[in-house]
Structure 1
């Protein structure tokens, strides 16, 4: 990692396109949040990933689980733990790694070993999970079309809050205003303002919807980052963020960015 208290953005966008990766963050060399762009970003280094915390079951957040296992099957020496809400784990098992769409790696042994390639672990909202001596990750519920959560990643009493896909920011506001250790917040902005109805129906945000909710926050002493922009509309969305940002100073994320917190 570039900095002791930083995470790397492996994929920053809301859908795949040439040169644009979907959601994934590397919080330390063995732990990722979401799996939208692990293969292209990490290549063979993806064999070091031991834990993936999923926000939800949509394809742009899980797709590279399949490809990092397929490409580097013989090189993996440790089981890959897939963590998520019970509904997310169920969806991945039944609809993705199910021996129909892709092999069920939870029934396949690591090359030359007795352990299985994948282990599924259900997580609970609000529970603090220790990922190293000085690192924790805590899921919190978000507002999307399927069961979904964001994560608070904490290292040495500093935290970054990653919402992933969400519409309402009520829970985010409640949490961040009661936890001053959170110094950075990553929020989505998927659509341009002329697509407001689609954003609401699919439980995503436009720049207008995003800043309308942010302006209700009592706290503004944190760094604000924006991701999950749809590449096709990115120039229009960038312009609209400038129009609606007001007092905020957001940074729009790109693949390969580092966030220090």
Structure 2
């Protein structure tokens, strides 16, 4: 990986054969979301130490369970699960609760007093330093549960990842006021014929997406699209070509890289 790049481990909005759900690899130990860690990384997933979550929906969290379970004996470092307070509470209450899955925050690593999982709350609009060149900032998005996107910057060049959202008002405001953001990764889950479902579930269609992006005041960014539902891939791809115009969007696939 180049310094100013991220790898797409999972690019899609639901699981299907050959299609992984949302996950972005920032470096060997850090990812945003955990929808497709095992298939994409195999044994290298045991080196993941930090997972920044956008929200609590299953397609964004599922592989947290499996990377701990599959590589429990090999892991030497705690897995840090990082997200909005509401997201962390949802995981504790509904997922790692000793009913759906073991509560690994109470299980120590093999041969250590350190716990297998630790949770950490983060807050929208606060910038967190990952190292002397890299920062990450959660920003509020518009979904059916508390959710955030992330602005990830390396050497003052950044990418904004929306994750699941309907409104782009906050996103566009950020882009227009922060020229260090060079790329936008935005979701587009349903075809335009399913606009009612998209609005109820707070997702975007090509029509809704490009109508919203008309308000953007800059034209110097790369536009990437993810979170397409595989069943509608052909239809959505055709609509993105129809509505995309001068944006010239790139539809992401599992294994792609974004350079920014």
TM-score normalized by the length of structure 2? 0.99
Question: 1:239 & 1:249 partners in 2: Cα distance?
Answer: 13
| TM-fit CA distance, 1:254 | 0.2
Structure 1 match to 2:40: 41
**Counterpart Cα distance in 2 of 1:129 and 1:81:** 14
**How many residue pairs get matched?**
260
1:200-255 Cα deviation digits (max 9, x unpaired): 00000000000000011111210000000000010000001011112111000000
The answer to whether residue 152 in structure 2 is matched with residue 153 in structure 1 is yes
SS at match of 2:247: coil
| 2:109 paired residue number | 110
1:132-154 superposed Cα distances (whole Å, 9 cap, x missing partner): 22111000000000000000110
Confirm or deny that 1:230 pairs with 2:229: yes
State the Cα distance separating 1:4 from its structure 2 match.
1.6
What is the DSSP-based 3-state SS (H/G/I as helix, E as strand, rest coil) of the residue aligned with 2:77? coil
Residue 81 (structure 1) aligned with residue 74 (structure 2)? no
Is the aligned partner of 1:175 residue 2:174? yes
Unaligned runs of 5+ in 2: none
Q: Give the distance between the partners of 2:258 and 2:50, measured in 1 at CA.
A: 20
Report whether the alignment pairs 1:31 with 2:58. no
1:151-180 deviation digits (Å, cap 9, x = unpaired): 011000100000000000000011111100
Q: TM-score, normalised by structure 1?
A: 0.99
- Write the distance in 2 (CA, Å) between the matches of 1:111 and 1:40: 24
CA distance in 2, matches of 1:252, 1:209: 16
After superposition, the C-alpha distances for 1:95-115 in whole angstroms (9 at most, x for unaligned) are: 011100000000000011110
Corresponding residue number in structure 2 for 1:133: 132
Within 5 A, what are the aligned runs for 1:2-21?
2-21=1-20
Matched, 1:55 2:54: yes
- Partner residue, 2:183: 184
Question: CA shift at 1:130, angstroms?
Answer: 1.0
Query: 1:64 maps to which residue?
Result: 63
Rounded to whole Å, the distance in 1 between the matches of 2:138 and 2:62 is: 21
| Runs of 4+ more than 4 Å apart | none
